[in-house]
Chain A
Amino acid sequence: MSSVTYADVNADMLRTLVRPKPAYYLLLVGFVIAFGIGALSWAIQIDVGLGLSGISHPVGWGVYITNFVFWIGIGHAGTLISAVFFLTRAPWRAPVYRAAEAMTVFAVMTAGLFPLIHVGRVWLAYWLIPYPNQRMLWVNFKSPLLWDVFAVSTYLTISVTFFVVGLVPDLAAMRDNAKGIRKLIYWQLALGWNNSYQQWLHYARGYLLLAALATPLVFSVHSIVSWDFAMSLIPGWHTTIFAPYFVAGAIFSGLAMVLTICIPLRTVFGLEKYITHHVMQSLAKVILFTSIIVGYAYTTEFFIAYYSGVPYERGLFYFRPFGEIGDGSPFFHKGDFGVPNFAFWIMVFCNVISPLPLWRFKIRNNVIALFIISVLINVGMWFERFNIVVSSLQRDFNPANWGSYHPTIVEFGITLGSFGMFFTLFTAFIRAMPSMAIAEVKEGLEPPRRNPAAHH
Chain B
Amino acid sequence: MGKSFSGIWGSFQYMDDATGAISALREAGKDLSVLSPFPHHEIYHAMGEPQSRIPFVTLLFGGLGVFFGYAMTSWMSLDWVLPVSSKPIVSIPPYTIFAFELMVLLGGISTAIGVFVMGFFDLARKRMPASKAFKNYGRFSNDRFGVVVRCDRGDAESVEKIMRDHHVEELVREF
Contact = CB atoms under 8 A, between A and B. Distances in A.
Interface of A: 5-7, 10, 130, 135-142, 147, 150-151, 154, 157-158, 161-162, 164-165, 168-169, 172-173, 175-177, 191-192, 194-207, 209-210, 213-214, 216-217, 220, 224, 438-440, 442-443, 447-451, 454-456
B111 interface: yes
A252 to B, nearest CB: 23
Interface in B70-92: 72-73, 76-77, 79-80, 82, 84, 87, 91
Nearest to A453: B16
Interface string B10-54: 000111110000000000000001111111101111010010101
Contacts of A200: 36, 38-39, 43
Contact of A197 (B43, B62, B79): B43
B123 A196 contact: yes
B108 A447 contact: no
B118 interface: yes
Contact of B35 (A164, A195, A210): A195
Interface of B: 13-17, 33-40, 42-45, 47, 50, 52, 54-55, 58, 62, 72-73, 76-77, 79-80, 82, 84, 87, 91, 94-95, 97-98, 100-105, 107-109, 111-112, 114-116, 118-120, 122-123, 126, 128, 138-143, 146, 167
A1 to B, nearest CB: 14
Given A213-B62, A213-B104, 5 more contacts: A6-B37, A157-B108, A175-B141, A210-B112, A220-B97
B37 A173 contact: yes
Contact of B107 (A165, A172, A213, A439): A213
28 contacts: A7-B142, A130-B76, A135-B80, A138-B82, A141-B91, A154-B102, A154-B104, A158-B104, A161-B108, A161-B109, A164-B112, A168-B116, A176-B139, A176-B141, A176-B142, A177-B138, A196-B34, A196-B123, A197-B39, A198-B122, A202-B118, A213-B104, A217-B104, A220-B97, A439-B39, A442-B38, A451-B16, A454-B16
Contacts, number: 202
A385 B166 CA distance: 61
A142 B38 CA distance: 46
Q: Is the interface of A mostly helix, strand, loop or mixed?
A: helix
Nearest to A215: B104
B39 to A, nearest CB: 4
Contact of A448 (B15, B52, B146): B15
B82 A172 contact: no
Contacts of B62: 213
Given A142-B84, A202-B122, A220 B16 contact: no
A213 B79 contact: no
Contacts of B167: 450
B55 A151 contact: no
Contacts of A138: 76-77, 79-80, 82
A141 B73 contact: yes
A29 B166 CA distance: 55
Contacts of A196: 33-35, 119, 123, 126, 128
B108 A197 contact: no
A209 B58 CA distance: 8
Given A161-B112, A168-B116, A198-B33, A448 B14 contact: yes
B77 to A, nearest CB: 6
Contact of A213 (B16, B111, B119, B141): B111
Nearest to A446: B15
Contacts of B15: 447-449
B40 A447 contact: yes
Contacts of A455: 16, 42
Given A7-B143, A168-B116, A449-B16, A194 B35 contact: yes
